[in-house]
Amino acid sequence: MAILSYLVALLALLCFTAAAQRVVVADIWKPANSQIASPSNITLSRKALSVPLTQTSDKTLYRINVSAGTPPQQQSLQLDTGSRRLWVPATGTSICASSLADCANLGSFDSSESSTLDTSGETDTIAYSDGSSVTGQVFSDTFRIGGQAISNQVGLLGKQGTAVYEGVLGIGFPASAPTINHNLAAQGIISSNRYSIYLNSLASTTGTIIFGGIDLSKFVAPLLRVPVIGTDQPIIALTRVATLKGLLPTIQTSADYSQPIILDTGTSLTVLPTALVDSINTAMGAQYYPGATNGVTIVPCSAVTQSLSINFHFGGILTGPTINVPVSQLVLQGLGSLNGVEMCQFGLFGSDAANGNFPTTLGDTFLRSAYVLFDLDGGKVGLAQAVVGSADSLVRKIAEV
Ligand SMILES: *[C@@H]1O[C@H](CO)[C@@H](O)[C@H](O)[C@H]1NC(C)=O
Ligand SMILES: *[C@@H]1O[C@H](CO)[C@@H](O)[C@H](O)[C@H]1NC(C)=O
């Protein structure tokens, strides 16, 4: 497979030399040693583990540095494929003062300082599926990302919030929403509304998003595309899950399995139906946290050295993409000891109607093992196995693939 990837890369180099590459490359980042949050406000008893799980979602998700206004004001925003709107915390408002959003470190927007601001004054609220929300004023202004300026980008100037910890750059479907990626294409900065995301491994603090492009050095070809279900979120069909001990697979789903699932950089864990997590846990030596009110899964930290992994299949079993997630990418932080065994959080979360009812989600614990192309113009998602830790770069315009 590596040889195939090299040949494809070589071919790309040979075929592609002259035309200017209209792609926008931007680093994405997460804080070092960040805690991993579960998608709900979990309260656990301290009895069984010496260290409780804490909800620190402000420190777990991936961020992208952009600027707002003229002259540019730096902002670090959460990069979110699961939503479609852009909001920035407004300087000097309760959203910064209440220590909700970390404006001191991540920036805030003082709209009175921008000469390119346009605002109708209209009030609006953005509500997220986890119950958090932000209210403020609709505005438009120039934003800069990866060295390119996007004019008249609509956003929300967030003034009050509930459980929001940072501004958000929503880049999800559909193409018709005036997202930053839509405007990059509409303003001719990139050739189409497509972007690719490489989060890199759990240990790494930086990844990359390329608007209008892909990086051939960061995945094992082929990158296979599957259709998006519906039009308003990057939801695709998960068609098989298998656990692997070494190379030996055990299929954990039925032959006709097809589960709609959203690809969401804005969720730190991977959320699957409880019954499926039950059987994966058994195969991976993980278990539900005793006494937890919802599906928090724990695993002995020593599992990180075992030859265990999970295969996620999408689309046709023979024709669609398969992403292998090794256990090393699923064993998260040390929690303390349970019956003398050091326990870590496992990167899956079991949810169903009786248990939180969170949307089935491929969150960061899945996405770090994948290279993902969000093809908004084509209504597809492309997936390939990521080459984690790759320092190489071979960027091409997506339309050339
Ligand atoms: C993003 O901005 C923050 C805050 O200014 C800075 O600490 C960080 O190094 C920047 N990261 C990247 C990848 O540009
Ligand atoms: C989260 O916390 C809020 C406020 O404390 C509470 O009303 C809500 O029920 C909690 N949600 C879950 C899923 O526990």
Domain contains 209 = no
Domain contains 18 = no
Q: What is the CATH number of the domain that holds 106?
A: 2.40.70.10
Q: Are 252 and 276 in contact (CB under 8 A)?
A: yes
Q: Are 294 and 354 in contact (CB under 8 A)?
A: no
For ligand 2, atom 13, name the residue with the nearest CA.
40
For a mutational test of ligand 2's pocket, the pick from 41, 42, 349, i.e. the residue with the most ligand atoms closer than 8 A to its C-beta, is 41
Among the three residues 196, 225, 248, which one is the final residue of a domain in this structure? 196
Res. 288 pLDDT band, cuts 50 70 90: confident
Domain contains 119 = yes
Q: Which atom of ligand 2 is nearest to the CA of 43?
A: 14
Ligand 2 center–CA 160 separation, angstroms: 19
Q: Are 220 and 188 in the same domain?
A: no
Q: Are 182 and 244 in the same domain?
A: no
Q: Are 174 and 246 in the same domain?
A: no
Among the three residues 196, 229, 253, which one is the final residue of a domain in this structure? 196
Ligand that lies nearest to the alpha carbon of residue 146, given by its number in the listed order = 1
Which amino acids bring their CB within 6 angstroms of ligand 2? 40-41, 356
For ligand 1, atom 9, name the residue with the nearest CA.
29
Q: What is the mean pLDDT of the segment spanning 64-76?
A: 97
Q: Are 339 and 250 in the same domain?
A: yes
- What is the pLDDT at residue 45? 31
Q: Are 262 and 130 in the same domain?
A: no
Q: Are 277 and 361 in contact (CB under 8 A)?
A: no
Q: Is the pLDDT assigned to residue 13 strictly greater than 90?
A: no
- What is the pLDDT at residue 175? 57
- What is the pLDDT at residue 99? 64
- Residue in 303, 300, 304, 282 with CA at minimum distance from that of residue 350: 282
Number of domains in the chain: 2
Res. 125 pLDDT band, cuts 50 70 90: very high
Q: Are 326 and 234 in the same domain?
A: yes
Q: Are 290 and 163 in the same domain?
A: no
Domain contains 8 = no
Q: Are 139 and 154 in contact (CB under 8 A)?
A: yes
Q: Is the pLDDT assigned to residue 46 strictly greater than 50?
A: no
Ligand 1 center–CA 65 separation, angstroms: 6
Q: Judge if the beta carbon of residue 65 lies within 6 A of ligand 1.
A: yes
For ligand 1, atom 10, name the residue with the nearest CA.
65
Residue % of the chain over a pLDDT of 70: 84
Ligand 1 center–CA 185 separation, angstroms: 25
For ligand 1, atom 13, name the residue with the nearest CA.
27
Q: Are 347 and 292 in the same domain?
A: yes
Q: Which residues are catalytic?
A: 80, 264
Q: Are 155 and 230 in the same domain?
A: no
Res. 5 pLDDT band, cuts 50 70 90: very low
Ligand 2 center–CA 346 separation, angstroms: 22
Q: Are 164 and 125 in contact (CB under 8 A)?
A: no
Predicted confidence (pLDDT) per residue in 159-183, tens digit: 999 888 889 999 998 655 689 999 9
Q: Is the pLDDT assigned to residue 231 strictly greater than 80?
A: no
Q: Are 174 and 41 in the same domain?
A: yes
Domain contains 82 = yes
Ligand 2 center–CA 289 separation, angstroms: 19
For ligand 2, atom 4, name the residue with the nearest CA.
41
Domain contains 204 = no
Q: Which atom of ligand 1 is nearest to the CA of 105?
A: 4
Q: What is the mean pLDDT of the segment spanning 347-363?
A: 85
CA 120 to chain centroid, in Å, comes to 32
Res. 292 pLDDT band, cuts 50 70 90: low
Q: Judge if the beta carbon of residue 204 lies within 6 A of ligand 1.
A: no
Ligand 1 center–CA 74 separation, angstroms: 9
Among the three residues 164, 196, 228, which one is the final residue of a domain in this structure? 196
- What is the pLDDT at residue 128? 84
Helix, strand, or coil (residue 150): strand
Q: Are 192 and 266 in the same domain?
A: no
Per-residue DSSP letters for 268-315?
SSEEEEHHHHHHHHHHHT-EEPTT-SSEEEEEEGGGGGS-EEEEEEES
**How many other CB atoms are found less than 10 A from the CB of residue 280?**
22
For ligand 1, atom 1, name the residue with the nearest CA.
65
Q: Judge if the beta carbon of residue 27 lies within 6 A of ligand 1.
A: yes
Ligand 1 center–CA 129 separation, angstroms: 28
Q: Are 137 and 251 in the same domain?
A: no
Domain that holds residue 181: 24-196
Q: Which atom of ligand 1 is nearest to the CA of 27?
A: 13
Res. 18 pLDDT band, cuts 50 70 90: very low
* Whole-prediction pTM: 0.86
- What is the pLDDT at residue 266? 87
For ligand 2, atom 8, name the residue with the nearest CA.
41
DSSP, res 359: P
Ligand that lies nearest to the alpha carbon of residue 62, given by its number in the listed order = 1
Domain contains 16 = no
Ligand that lies nearest to the alpha carbon of residue 102, given by its number in the listed order = 1
* Residue in the structure block whose two tokens are 């589960």: 259
**How many other CB atoms are found less than 10 A from the CB of residue 401?**
18
Q: Are 349 and 267 in contact (CB under 8 A)?
A: no
Domain contains 207 = no
For a mutational test of ligand 1's pocket, the pick from 25, 63, 65, i.e. the residue with the most ligand atoms closer than 8 A to its C-beta, is 65
Q: Is the pLDDT assigned to residue 237 strictly greater than 50?
A: yes
